[in-house]
Structures are given as C-alpha cells and as structure tokens.
Structure 1
Amino acid sequence: MGVAVRDVEDPATANIQITAPAQVHIVPEEEDHYDNEDSHTVRSFPRSSQVSPATAEVITAEAGPTSIPPQQPVVRRRTLPAPPVSMENISIMSILRNNMGKDLSTIAMPIALNEPLNLLQKLAEELEYCELLDAAADTDDVVDRMVLISAFAVSGYASTVNRAGRKPFNPLLGETFECIRPDKGFKFVAEKVSHHPPVMACHAESEKYVFFQDNLVKSKFWGKSMELVPSGTVNVLLPGKKDHLQWSKVTTCMRNVFSGTRYLEHYGTMKITSVATGYTSTLVFKEAGYFTSAKNEVVGTVCDPSGKEVAWITGKWDDALYRFEKSSPNNLQVVWRATPCPSHHPQMYGFTQFAVELNELTPDIEPLLPPTDTRFRTDQRMYENGLIDEAEAEKLRLEQKQRERRKRMEAEGEVWEPKWFEAVEGDGWGYKGGYFENRGKFEKDGESIF
C-alpha cells in the first residue's frame, strides 16, 4: 500500500517524515484502504444510564439507525450575505470590568459582539469531520478506533481558530436547529432544553453511528482573559461494533481581551473512554507558556484496559493530528487534517465553509422545518444580513417576549417541557425520538417563540 510523504512546515521538525495512512478519507489524494487483522475483542455493549429509550432503540436495532432519504443536490452558498458588523464603537473593557467574576451568559451584551450563528448550530459544527466517525465504525481494531475517535474529538475545535472576539447567539428556550446532510450521511437535531441554567441538547445519527450530548458552558472574565468552562458528556455510539465512547470537553479561554490580537486557547485534559472495551485515550491540550512559542498543541496516549500504552498521538487542534509509535517518534501518520478556511474568511466572521452553510435557508427544507428552527429567528437573520440596528431592536423584543412567557408560566404553575429531549437518569438529557419522522408535519399554528 502506498502512502504520501508530507513536508513539515516547522523548521524545528524538518527532519520528521510524515506519512498518511489510508484509513481516513480526509486528504483527497489518498484513496487506499487498510485492514488490521490483529483485531481486539469487544465485550458486550452495556446500557448506559445516559442513553434515552429512543437512542437505545437505535443501538439495539439490527439494521442500525434509519438511513437518510435521498434528496436533490443542493447548491450551498459560499459566502455570507453581508460583511461582519463593526465593533469599533463598543467598549468591551467597560462591559467586562463591570461584571468581573460573573457568569457572562447571564449578562446582556450588545448584538455587535455576536457572530451570526447560535449555540445550537455550534453543536452541529462539531460534526464537520464526521468522516472520522465513519472510519471508526468501519474498523474492527479497537486501538485504531480509539485513535480515530480521538481525532474526531479534537477536530471539533478546529473551526474556532479564527473566531476569537465574537460570541454565538444564545438560543431561546424551546428553540431548535436541524442539520440534515445526505452528502455527509448524518441527520442532526438540537434544542435548548433549559434556560436557568442554559442547557443545549443534541442528537445525530447515521447508518454507522449515533452522536449525542448535552452542553452547559459557564463563562467568566478574569482580568485580561475570558474563560469558558463546559460541562456535560459527549457520547458516540457505534452499533455495528457494540461500542460506546464518552468524553468531556476542555476549557476554552479568550486571550488579550483588551489589547493586542485576540486569540482562543483550549487547554486541559480530555479522557475518552470506551465503555464496552475498557480502552481509554487521554488527550492533553497544552496551554501556551511565556517561554515557548508552541501554540494549540495536543498530545495523547491510548491505553488498553490494563493501562498499558498502545498508541501515541500528537498534533495541533487547528491543523492536524498524527499517530506515531514510541519506537519511531519521527514517523508520523496523518489521522486527520483540518480543511483550510476560505481565503475570504475575515469577511465572514472567520467561518469555515461548513459554518457558512449552517444558517442558510434553502427552498428544499423551508417547508419541512418546525417554526422553532433557528433559521426562522428574526434577529439573527437580520444580523446576518447586516441590519445591525433592526437586529438589536428585534433581539430586545424576543428577549422581552421570552421573559413574559416565563412569568406567565410561573403564574399558572406550568413547567417547561422540551419537545424533543427528556431528562435521563443522572444529569443528562436524551433524545425522545420522533423529530425526523415528523419533518414536514410540524404544527405551524400556535404561539411562536419568535
């Protein structure tokens, strides 16, 4: 089997040979496949308390998740309808200094600090490199699978590299977002399930995997930086391999809030566990120090159930991830490589091409969406179109409408119940089922959250 040899741009590593194994179709010119006959045994799949009944049905079904019906090809947009809104007249310093140490998700911010996506759509962004999940579902080798899942977990941070300085819209309670991509083989739905605290839940499935999580992020300002601390568990189910992978996200920090070039760092330890096999992958997202120029580095090891190291990983979360053997650390195999951002990304809030497509309302899906879908959210749509004053006024209207609805429910003793997700044993949220079966049949009448 032939492999492609790549050059390393960093002069410090100029003598390292990088080869690309063919198990992942991320680099277009590499089309080989490989099979590892030295497969590891996978124990029977245990039901997790974090799995909802609807998800469990997907796991136990012999044929796996329902396939995505074929659709006519969609020509997706390549740019946003308007350039970024200026932040020149906004004093971030005064806003943050008046709220030092507070959870910033509870503080009203000027709309010009936003990017034209929301937190539900940000969850969908984590599936940009879903090819890694397909590859993990196809391999019988547990170690290879752990390496691929590790690459997928890291790849979710790649889209953030040019996004410092802006924040996503906070969804309204009950707001939903769907992303069905026949070209990528998955269907995704997310919903804001709680307002205090603000929790988002999502579920995605394909013929090979199920991906779900609930996400709560607390943000605090400390002097010159702003820290985002996530909680919740990310889950990937591979029904064909009877495997279940779980991990938690690392901390994100915005540096140089007031002066200099703003940039994001992700740091901390991420431990990925295979519930079925006992294998683990421990990934360390390194924090850049004063005495090193290294940025965005990730290193990791895969261990078998006894704790023995069986694979080694290195790379950068914004660029690529490599696998190597301890006996030959200079021979790096490409597991994943980030797709370069469009050349005009500074005029698109730093978005990747995948991000540009998320809020697009194409004619093929408009009649199929529920009225709660983010694409119908008026202030975000105005903002995307560059109508800053109209968007600011509309944002205030929607927030006031949400407050009035919450007060009315409290007065009447009503408890909010999410439409598509439900609380499961523990602290998590699970998919109820039924969303995709009801596409095109959603109720359009009744009170709109927008």
Structure 2
Amino acid sequence: TSDGSVASFQSSLDGIQARLQVSFAKLAADKEAAFLLMRSEIEKWEKNEKQFHRLLSENETLSSTLPADKSTLSRQAVGFDDHGVDHDDNSSDDESAEQQAQPEETPAETIAAPARPAGSTALIPDEPATRRAVLPAPVSGEDISLLSILRKNVGKDLSTIAMPVSLNEPINVLQRLCEELEYSELLDKAASLPDSLDRMVWVAAFAVSGYANSQWRAARKPFNPLLGETFEFVSPEKGFKYISEKVSHYPPVMACHAESIHHWTFSMDSRAKTKFWGKSMELIPNGTIHINFEKSGDHYTIIKPSTWMRNLIAGTKYLDHTGELKVINHTTRETCVLTFKESSMFGGTKHEVVGHVLNANGAKQKTLQGRWSESMMEEVAPNKLERLWKCNSPPPNHMKYYGFTEFTTHMNEITPALESKLPKTDTRFRPDQSLFERGQVEEADLEKLRVEQKQRELRKTMEAQDQAWEVRWFEKKDDPHTEDPEGQTWRYKGGYWESRETGEWSEKVFLW
C-alpha cells in the first residue's frame, strides 16, 4: 500500500512536470510571437510615418492647415520609447533656489513645436532614420599627461601643437559647434512667440543649454579639423540642417550655418584661443553667434564667457564656465545678461547661472536662474519659478563612451543612404578619427600623422605656386556686431545643399 501511494504521488509529480513543460513551451512560443508582432507593428508604424511625411511634403495646403500636435508623427505618441522618463538620480549637496521655491515646471520634453510651415519640408533633405544607440567601441587609448605636453610647449598656440590621438575624443571642433543645437527646440519655441521679451527668455535658455554636455567631457579634446574639412548634420526629427567648414588654418577659424523649418537660422565663426595658466587652462571663445527669426525680424547675437579646465596638475579634471554671457536683440535693443558663477571647491555654488532680461532702456523685466548642467528657470512671480529647459539624462554607460549624449553619438554615423550624398571632405570620412572611434588607436595615430603631413605638404606647394586657399561654402562679410578687429565674419554663401542634391561636388583637393 505504501509503495502504491509513492507510485501514485510520483505519477502526479510527473504529470505536473509534463504540464509545466508544456506551459513553459507555450509561454516561450507566445513570447516569441509577441516580439514578432511588436516588430511587425513597429515596421508598419515606421512605414506609415514615412508615408505621412511624404504626404506632407507633397501637399503644402495640408501641411499648413495641420495643428502643431498633428503636423508631426512621433513614436512617443504610442509609447515606443521612454524619453520623457527622468533616469537622472544625481543630487546636489546644496539645495538649489528653484527647489526651495517649489517651481511650476514646464519640462523641455513637453514643449510643443510650432506647426510645420507649408512647403518647408524641402529644407530637410532626408527621411527620418533609425539612429545608432552606442559608439562602435568604448573609450580607447592610454592616459597621457596633458601637463607634460603643455610644459614642453609653453608660449605656443596650443591649436598648432601635434597631440597624440589618445588625448582626443572621436569628434572634431566642427561637430562640437553642432552640439550647440542639441536643444534646438528652444529656438523653435522662441521663434513662435509674439512677445519679444518672451522670445529673449527662450533664446537665453538656448544659449545656456549648449554647455550641458560639457559636464561629462573634461578629460579629452576634439580633433582639430584640416583646412577645408566640412561637416554636415541633418536632423529631420528636429527640423534643421547644419553645414560647417574650417575656413582658416592660422589663426584657426571654423564657420557654421544652420537653418530650420521653424523659421530661424543659426550661424557663427569660432576663433577660440587657449591660454595655459599652470594649474588651469582657459578656452577663450572668440567669435559671435548670430540667430535670426524670420517672422519677427529679430537678430540676436550671443557672446559667451571663458571655459576653464581645472586641476591639470592633480585631482579630477573638470570644466567650469565663468563670466558673463550676453544676448542682444539688435532689432529691439533688448538684452539679457547672465552671470556664470565660478564653482566652489568646497561645495556650495556649482554651475550656477543668474541674470536678467532688460528692455531697450536698460530696465530689468525678467529674472532667470538655474544651473548650466541641469536646467534654467524664469521667475514668473515672487517665489514662483517656471522651468524653461532641463538637461536630458545621459545614455546608459555614457562615461564608457567619452561622455557623449545621444545627440553626439549620432554625429559620425554613416548610413548607406547618407554615404552617397556626402562630399569626401566630410569629417565622417576622416580616417584617423574614424579609426579612433572604432578603438584602433595605433592605426589612428599613424593616420593622424599622415593626414597632417599631407596638409603641410599641400600648404607648402600652394605657397610655392603663389596659390591662395579657396574657401568653398563661406565668405567674409562686414559685420558691425562681431568681435573680430577687422569687423568681418564668415557667413554661409550658399550652394552646399544644391550640390548635395545633384551630387556634383567638384572637389579640387583630396584632404585625406
């Protein structure tokens, strides 16, 4: 009887195990079917999204009549990703003023972009693409003492010194300038507002937002572009396109221009200089940013403060931005002056920014405050702050990938469709930078020496033949608002996007 009970019990267990195995197999099959269904639905969504954008581009009347929330199709609308979720759990030792005031927040992620203008899709030549989420390789190269290199080159212009590739990050200065547009939706918002003081507030928030990514980027420097090197970036998602070129070797000058379907343009020429102060290095951002709004006729200039790399000798290196940032609306004569406070070594103030918007008579109209690494707020009433902008959370493991944001991660990517459209002068084709991004440090070092030597030889040949370098996409223009002692600035002269459309680049010099 006992044996019979055991056998019966064992039989029951065997039955349960068999049913569990069947259930597990069914669950696995259901899971696989669910993933296949989800992938199928996403592919259908992407196909419909492309058809939607194509329909808008072909039907100007339809595009102009759609309200803002219907003029673009986004995966966020159906919950395919979680960009609205804040994963940042960093906290400050000191309680910020905006936390004490319990601000009424308006997250940048929820800003409604203005409706897509009729016929404006022609400005953006590419369909939205699936972007890569991570670089091909993590941080590569041995740690090299920047201080030892600086000591050997005291008194020299640091931009002319040949640096080992391990001191670099796998983007260059032209791409660094493009990073200013990571939060371009702030300009979209500004350009849509009817009141000039409100527009100034959002332009000022945009000016601060360009510093946010630097909090993760103190360890390395960008590649120095070769003379004639170009970089384009097209963002159908954000609605702008950007072109840049190195226009002068000595002094080194980079010029860039961007235009948006939301009726604004952005341009600047960067003439940054560096000074070595022993324990710190100062980056002086000579050059003026110009922003123009088509509808209001506003013309803004932005003058930025110095950036400092601290702790060159000992301790953890970090970047600090100190001094005054000034935004001027030359159309209305309104200004915004923001003070970037120096970070304290012993806690307290960190990355703090405070300032005011002034009317044409110099009277204070609005108060702004925040931190360049976190957010900017407007004081809309006593003890009541409204958030204008918030820094996006960085990607997972971002410090393993040079501290790059999602926006920066996309810059060097070449899709098959894009490769056939780019000129060979584009940074994406630069071999040393490309090798370094893929983690091939020794090969990158050799290529860096080769391409730099090739440019030196080209320069000597042109000088011997009394030939002047011909800048391709930019030209010097008189500019009453520039800091240049000659009163001129490099402005986009046109033609790049037309050449891109036809594929006729007529390249006379091969940089690599």
For normalisation by structure 2, the TM-score amounts to: 0.76
2:488 pairs with 1:406: no
Distance in structure 1 (CA, Å) of the matches to 2:326 and 2:124? 35
Counterpart of 1:27, as a letter, is E
Match of 2:205 among 141, 148, 151: 151
Q: Note the alpha carbon deviations across 1:259-279, whole angstroms, 9 max, x for none.
A: 211110011111110011111
CA gap 1:27/1:9 in 2 versus in 1, 3 angstroms: farther
Q: Which amino acid aligns with 1:414?
A: Q
| Counterpart residue number, 1:120 | 174
Out of 88, 92, 95, the residue aligned to residue 12 of structure 1 is: 95
Matched AA of 1:430:
R
Distance 1:248 1:439, change over 3 A: same
Q: Secondary structure at the match of 1:164?
A: coil
Give the secondary-structure state (helix, strand or coil) at the position aligned to 1:266: strand
CA distance in 1, matches of 2:439, 2:155: 32
Kindly indicate which of the two structures has a greater share of residues assigned to strand: 1
Q: Which aligned pairs between 1:17-416 and structure 2 lie closer than 5 A?
A: 17-21=102-106, 26-28=108-110, 67-69=122-124, 71-88=126-143, 90-207=144-261, 208-290=263-345, 293-325=348-380, 328=382, 330-416=383-469
Q: Deviations over 1:73-116 (max 9, x none)?
A: 3111111101111333x232311222234321111111100000
Counterparts of 2:507 and 2:373 in 1: how far apart (Å)? 44
Instruction: In structure 2, give the amino acid aligned to 1:318.
Output: S
User: 5+ residue gaps in structure 1?
Assistant: 1-5, 34-61
Task: Tell me by how many angstroms 1:142 deviates.
Answer: 1.0
Q: 2:489 matched to 1:428? A: yes
Q: Distance in 2 between matches of 1:199 and 1:64?
A: 34
CA 1:205–1:386: 2 relative to 1, 3 Å: same
**CA distances 1:206-257 after superposition (whole Å, capped 9, x unpaired):** 1210000000111122111111111111000001111100011211111111
SS of aligned partner of 1:360: coil
Amino acid in structure 2 at the alignment position of 1:284: T
Which protein, 1 or 2, shows the higher relative CO under an 8 Å CA cutoff with sep ≥ 6?
1
Alpha carbons 1:100, 1:220 under 8 Å: kept: no
Aligned to 1:442: 504
Structure 1 runs of 4+ aligned residues shifted over 6 Å read 30-33, 62-66
Name which one, 1 or 2, has greater alpha-carbon Rg.
Answer: 2
Output the aligned Cα RMSD: 2.3
Which amino acid letter does the alignment assign opposite residue 361 of structure 2? S
Instruction: Provide the secondary structure at the position in 2 that maps to 1:27.
Output: helix
Any conservation in 1 of the 2:124–2:239 contact (CA below 8 Å)?
A: no
| Counterpart Cα distance in 1 of 2:124 and 2:150 | 48
Give, in whole Å, the separation in 2 of the partners of 1:319 and 1:419: 38
TM-superposed CA distance for 1:63, in Å, is 8.4
Confirm or deny: 8 A CA contact 1:92 1:258 kept in the other structure.
no
Please say if residues 150 and 272 of structure 1, whose CA atoms lie closer than 8 Å, have aligned partners that are also in contact: yes
Consecutive unaligned residues in structure 2, runs of 5 or more: 1-85, 479-486
Q: Distance in 1 between matches of 2:347 and 2:393?
A: 25
Tell me how far 1:70 sits from its aligned partner: 6.1
Give me the whole-angstrom Cα distance separating, in 2, the residues matched to 1:106 and 1:420. Answer: 24
1:199–1:215: 8 Å Cα contact kept in structure 2?
yes
Structure 1 residues 101-135: Cα deviation after superposition (integer angstroms, max 9, x where no partner): 43211111111000000000011111000000000
Kept after mapping to 1: 8 A contact 2:309/2:318: yes
User: Does the 8 A contact of 1:277 with 1:305 survive in 2?
Assistant: yes
- What's the secondary structure of 1:342's corresponding residue? coil
Q: What's the TM-score, normalizing by structure 1?
A: 0.87
